[in-house]
Amino acid sequence: MNSFVTIGQCAITLIDTLNERIGRGVSWLTLAIVLVTVAVVIFRYCFNLGSIAAQESISYMHALIFMLGAAYTLKHNAHVRVDIFHHRFSKTTQGWVDFLGTLLLLMPVCLFIIISSWGYVSDSWGIQESSRNSGGLPGVYLLKSTIIIMAGLLFLQGISLAIKSLFSALGITPNTES
């Protein structure tokens, strides 16, 4: 049991650290969105200059924030949750509900997203898809790849959540710092 706890703690620490760093890094894109939006407006209305690439970059950054920030949000238990019964349960029951929910709902959905989007992303990579707009950004295939990355990061965070929930259900208090 002791080695199970140690391995579990290592997995939790590695996964939580990865998603924490990605989430914090991606959060800086919100500032970039504001700055690029202000620049687009100033150039458009003060200098009569437009940039399709700059406008598309705002959408790209917005997508990256949500796609790469989803696992960070899960790590911090900040997703929308309808909590009618959960808060009334004991810590042990909450642990089992969260463990089973992660195993039976979150992880299969993540796998479904990866499997169902694989062809879509592969086709995009195959043609090196870029913007349909003249002067738009290249690399649409990179943006589409974040669908798979998002599901992968959520799956990893699901592993961390499942281990934490199982520890809670079994009354094990892991010594994690993240």
* Mean local confidence (pLDDT), 109-131: 96
Summary mean pLDDT of the chain: 92
Name the residue ranges covered by the structural domains of the chain. 2-170
* Mean local confidence (pLDDT), 122-139: 91
- Residue 88 pLDDT exceeds 90: no
Residue-level pLDDT at 175: 66
| Percent residues over pLDDT 90 in the chain | 74
102 CB burial (10 A radius; 0-12, 13-18, 19+) = buried
Lowest mean pLDDT among 29-38, 106-115, 168-177: 168-177
63-86 pLDDT per residue, tens: 999 999 999 999 998 877 767 787
**What is the rounded CA–CA span in Å between residue 53 and residue 133?**
9
Query: Quick one: pLDDT band at residue 178, thresholds 50, 70, 90?
Result: very low
Give this prediction's pTM: 0.89
151 CB burial (10 A radius; 0-12, 13-18, 19+) = buried
Query: Quick one: pLDDT band at residue 148, thresholds 50, 70, 90?
Result: very high
Residue by residue, DSSP assigns the chain as -HHHHHHHHHHHHHHHHHHHHHHHHHHHHHHHHHHHHHHHHHHHHHS----HHHHHHHHHHHHHHHHHHHHHHHHTT-S----SSGGGS-HHHHHHHHHHHIIIIIHHHHHHHHHHHHHHHHHHHHTT---SSTT--S-HHHHHHHHHHHHHHHHHHHHHHHHHHHHHHHT-------
* Mean local confidence (pLDDT), 2-31: 94
